[in-house]
Amino acid sequence: MPLPPFDPDAQLDAAVITPWPGLLINADLLYDNLTARGWKVDREESNLLNGFSKTWRDYGLKVWVRLEKFVCAPPNGEDEVFESVSFYRFDPDELPETTMWALMVDPGDEDQPRFKQWVEEWEWLLENGDPNFEQNELLKPVPAREFPEEVRADLWDDLLASVVPAG
């Protein structure tokens, strides 16, 4: 089933847009497709997620895509409603440039007996987690119009290739 039509230029003055209101999507494919394109997932304390982010650090821009409810992380045969796309600006000098590995692995952890098993269990998060998930106070909502046209085109290319209606 194709996506319902959406004109990305119709809501340029909004900082949060809802391109497909109420659309139930395949969360597994969204996760697989977006992470393959470099998107990151939120980092909840549990094995759940409801958001994906992409950062254009050189521009100081970040987008969050949110699902209506939480799904397993990574999703496991789940469908969920695609909720919204939110647009943010940040100061690249203030937003830490780090990795999930640096946040989650302490010196000497590699020497622990369960380390290999731990890495296998959390590989999805080490590779696909958003290391700045808890830095939301540094993000300032901005209208989509403030994103350069090439960044908006990249965003919509990613979403149109990744959002698949359920069923």
Task: Convert the pLDDT of each residue in 97-145 to its tens digit.
Answer: 999 999 999 999 999 999 999 999 999 999 999 998 888 899 999 999 9
Q: What is the mean pLDDT of residues 153-161?
A: 97
Question: 131, 22, 146: which is closest to 87 by C-alpha?
Answer: 146
Q: What is the mean pLDDT of residues 67-71?
A: 96
- Phi-psi map region of 28: left, alpha, beta (phi>0 left; psi -120 to 50 alpha): alpha
Binning pLDDT at 50, 70 and 90, where does residue 45 land? low
| Residue-range domain boundaries for the chain | 9-162
